[in-house]
Amino acid sequence: MPASTQGAERIHDMIIVGGGPAGYTASLYAARAGLDALLLEQLAAGGQMGLTERIDNYPGFADGIDGFALGEAMRKGAERFGAETRLASALSLALSGPVKRVETGKEALRARTVVLATGAVPRELGLPGEQELLGRGVHYCAACDGMFYRGRTAVVVGGGNSAAEDALLLSRVCERVFLVHRRDALRAEQVYRAPLLRAENVEFCWNSVVEELLHDGAMRGVRLRDVRTGAERTVDCDGVFVSIGRKPASQLVRGQAALDPAGYVVADESTRTDVPGLFAAGDVRTKALRQVATAVADGAAAAHSAQEYLAALGR
């Protein structure tokens, strides 16, 4: 479907916010359907997939695949059919009415449908100093920043797959790794858990939470509290890797679309939201399982639902 008009007056059929697997699948399907779709991505193709060295549970790759490479392949696959990407951050959305507005700071874009595919971002500890130390003592991605801690001591906070993967990666570069978990066993799957439990330089701090980040401009350590006894101890370290889960990146539609109590955009398999013309795909929407395979499924469904919506408008 051609753009209504060109330049500043242009009204896209679809603006997709976010270039993770959900966004690039929506982009691929939209391009193949002949829609005038523009995808906005603020960082790099692939989204959270870029944070893991290996994805083993996305079908079609017998030996697994590097997450960043899979993101690039998804981008190229969509662009092969003419999909358009712009490196830009959507700063605000105005979603009421038949023509939606997307502000990027540099330009005001317009579209008849918006696919929100902004994914999820790391959950923070919420401790004083966390923001100031971001990127120089406090980190949310071991694959990205672990190399800064070669031969040093790192603390990983969390007990799920991501925390276990982070701790394992850091155990290969750091002299010592402490894994702090509020329960007495890891939630991580066996494939992550088993090698971690074997790693000799990893020490587990079970039933513990971080009470305080100890720093003097540089990270010096953490104060831990045992959740059962209340006993406190200090662990010296150079860096803290926080891996306590993720939260939806839904702030762009807060106050405009229905969110569940955890902040996820309320939408079913069709990805339709309570705002006509707004579709929520991938980790940002309410669903049982947040994975690459389910994000890709949502991207396809979003493009399909948007096509139906546009057809009903007579477009």
**Residue of 234, 230, 247 whose CA lies nearest to 155:** 234
Longest dimension (CA), the chain: 67
Q: What is the DSSP pairing of strand 153-157 with strand 176-180?
A: parallel
How far apart are alpha carbons 51 and 292 in whole angstroms? 13
State in angstroms the smallest separation of the CB of 129 from ligand FAD.
Answer: 23
Classify the C-alpha dihedral 224-229-231-235 as positive or negative.
negative
**Residue of 24, 43, 33 whose CA lies nearest to 84:** 24
CB nearer to ligand FAD: pick between 55 and 157: 55
State in angstroms the smallest separation of the CB of 211 from ligand FAD.
Answer: 25
State yes or no: residue 47 binds ligand FAD (CB under 6 A).
Answer: yes
How far apart are alpha carbons 39 and 121 in whole angstroms? 19
Tell me if residue 293 falls in helix, strand or coil.
Answer: helix
State in angstroms the smallest separation of the CB of 50 from ligand FAD.
Answer: 8
State yes or no: residue 21 binds ligand FAD (CB under 6 A).
Answer: yes
237 is catalytic: no
State yes or no: residue 22 binds ligand FAD (CB under 6 A).
Answer: yes
Single residue of 70, 112, 119, 157 touching ligand FAD by CB under 6 A:
119
Q: Give the ranges where the chain is alpha helix by DSSP (H).
A: 21-32, 67-79, 142-145, 161-173, 190-198, 292-312
Of the candidates 13, 36, 141, 298, the residue annotated as catalytic is 141
Single residue of 30, 31, 78, 120 touching ligand FAD by CB under 6 A:
120
Kindly identify the residues of this chain, within the stretch 149-178, that bind ligand FAD according to CB under 6 A. 162
Single residue of 187, 247, 291, 315 touching ligand FAD by CB under 6 A:
291
Single residue of 5, 34, 57, 128 touching ligand FAD by CB under 6 A:
57
Half-sphere exposure of 143 (CA within 13 A, CB side): 14
State in angstroms the smallest separation of the CB of 205 from ligand FAD.
Answer: 21
Applying CB under 6 A, the residues found at the interface with ligand FAD are 17-23, 40-43, 47-49, 51-52, 55, 57-58, 89-90, 117-120, 162, 249, 252, 282-283, 290-293, 295
- Residues known to be catalytic: 141, 144-145
